[in-house]
A and B are shown apart, each in its own frame.
Chain A
Amino acid sequence: MIVSFFVNGEKTTARITEPASLLDVLRDQLGLSGSKSACEQGECGSCSVMLDDVLVCSCLVMASDVEGSTVVTVEGIATRGLHPVQEAMHRAGAVQCGFCTPGFVVTAAALFDANPAPSRDEIKEALAGNICRCTGYGAIVRAFETLAEGNR
């Protein structure tokens, strides 16, 4: 079957022959490898995308189910230059190996879109579904605390 949907503002089609995840279609068919494939069970958050303006794990979205939907991946988070959350992570050195970074970027972008000045607890709760295997959480949380501070 052919599925039509929008990815990062562009109309896209994908050919679905088996119950694949949206993540697999993004990476393997559409060449969007920013969303990472790791746990494949919604535990690590490295495949986070926006689906119809809602933050989800793309590994848990059946690709056939995005017919007519709007998907924004990490590649589409910044419309020009860097998104403020990317800028904040860059400045704070909130990247170690970088594998989890795209997921944190998408999750943080969703958080700051909804709440421009979250508290430390709100930041930590929003990031609870994103795992950094290098355990670099200190710098990641500080990056977003600094961003929130600047937005107050």
Chain B
Amino acid sequence: MIAHHPRTIAEATSALADGAIPLAGGTDLMVEVNFGHTRPEVVVGLRRVSELAEWDGNRLGSGVTWRRVEESGPRALAQAARTVGSPQIRNAGTIGGNIATASPAGDGLPFLLAVDAEFELVSNEGSRQVAAREFFVDVKKTTRRNEELIAAVNLPETLPERQEFGKIGVRNAMVIATVCCVVTRDSNHSTRVALGSVAPTPIRAMRAETMISSIAMPTDADLAEFARLVSEDVRPITDHRSTEEYRRHAAGVLARRLLERCLR
């Protein structure tokens, strides 16, 4: 086995170009290794690349840990960070790893989708920005090429005034989401709804967004209709964590609750 320990992005992308598997906090990759699902022969450990851990305003290096996001991230992203695994997991796991793994249940992903975050992908050939909505294509499948490193996450200059994250799971801590959701709302009533664990990728509930964005002061009937549209917009499956029916129902209830918090 070979392990690279680069200190710069250029060294890291050279290793990736040679076929190395990227390793950030290890909280996803090592589970696959421990259970015999993968056996990487060449690995590039990213935690010594100090540039990846930089956080400058709206630009978060991919190596920023959940612990740091929990402490100083934008409201809904910090709320999401607080629900990632345990303190041990949050100390190791990174936002870049969450994006690269692209689990439908990735806790940080609905926020990134809701605010139109862009991901900075770097390779030996150069760099490109990919919008979150174009990045996730299927369960754990993204438009990242193997030789590309996720260097940073760029958030928009102005973030929504009101933003709330919520997660439903079988218990309060250490849980993978049955449904997770971010709702944001601006003073012009423009509303975004993004959800995880209810489709092959994190998704937006577009019809629900359009409907509620045109209403300045939603009534109870409007909120009920909003919840119904969210339940219709999602595409969940039944698996070992929950059923399609429950996820559909829970998505609507959760999104409505978060919207109500935004309206307070």
- Chain A positions near chain B (C-beta within 8 angstroms): 1, 3, 16-19, 21, 40-43, 45, 48, 54-57, 59-62, 64-65, 67-68, 107, 125-126, 128-130
Contacts and interface: CB of A to CB of B under 8 A. Distances in A.
Interface in B139-174: 173-174
A130 B87 CA distance: 9
Contact of A1 (B3, B23, B34, B86): B3
A43 B174 contact: yes
B89 interface: yes
B85 interface: yes
A20 B43 CA distance: 12
- Cβ-closest 7 pairs across A and B: A129-B86, A64-B3, A128-B173, A40-B34, A65-B45, A60-B30, A41-B31
Contacts of A16: 1, 3
Interface centre among A48, A65, A129 (most CB of B within 10 A): A65
A121 to B, nearest CB: 12
B86 A62 contact: no
B1 A42 contact: no
A143 to B, nearest CB: 18
Given A1-B2, A18-B1, A19-B40, A61 B91 contact: no
A74 B2 CA distance: 29
Contacts of A59: 30, 34
Contact of A45 (B29, B39, B88): B88
Nearest to B92: A56
B92 A19 contact: no
A1 B26 contact: no
A7 B29 CA distance: 24
Contact of A62 (B26, B35, B85, B91): B26
